[in-house]
Amino acid sequence: MRLDSSDVDLRGYVLTIRQTKFKKDRLVPIHASMAAALRRYVAARETTILKRDHVPFFLSLRGRRYARHTLDGVLCALGRKIGIRGATGRGPNFHSLRHRFAVQRLVAWYRAGADVQAMLPFLATYMGHASYTGTAHYLTTTPELMAVAAVRYHRSLPDGNRV
């Protein structure tokens, strides 16, 4: 929500996130496909909103920065539209997307045969945490995560101890 255009480097594939929790700045790499999507957004934005040197990156149709409650409402409506949120009650929110990201990253590392323990500091850094402790909060167990972890565990056992 607080990204300015100068914080988005679509050639270097990096976002500069300023003044996060504990007043830290950090660089967040993005995938080439994300950069391509953001380039399309910039092109669409520039055809509808007056160009200025220092502008929020994401703009409402009124040319202003989005408010948090507005984005929460959009995510809620989108969740209902695509069927992952009921007409009432809780559903996905921005915070739960961070949980999902963290868990899916672990699942991908397990599937790739990576040393997950060695990768955890990278995940913590990417998520903007000073240590693994902050990241551990996001690592909720899911059936998918437990399944890939169990496969890894059983492969590590000597043949006589396998179930």
Residue 93 near residue 99 (C-beta atoms within 8 A) = no
pLDDT for position 35: 97
Higher-pLDDT residue of 101 and 54 is 101
7's tokens: 């914080």
The string of pLDDT tens digits covering residues 112-143 is: 999 999 999 999 988 888 888 888 888 888 89
Residue 109 near residue 119 (C-beta atoms within 8 A) = yes
Instruction: Output the pTM of the full model.
Output: 0.72
78-86 own/partner pairs: CB under 8 Å, 24+ apart? none
* Percent with pLDDT over 70 in the chain: 94
Give start and end residues of each alpha helix (H) in 1-136. Answer: 32-48, 68-81, 94-112, 116-126, 132-136
Q: What is the largest CA-CA distance in the chain?
A: 70
The β-bridge partners of 95 are: none
Hey, how many other C-beta atoms are within 10 angstroms of the C-beta on 143?
7
The string of pLDDT tens digits covering residues 36-54 is: 999 999 888 888 766 655 5
- What is the Cα gyration radius of the chain? 20
Best-predicted range by mean pLDDT (12-21, 30-39, 67-76)? 30-39
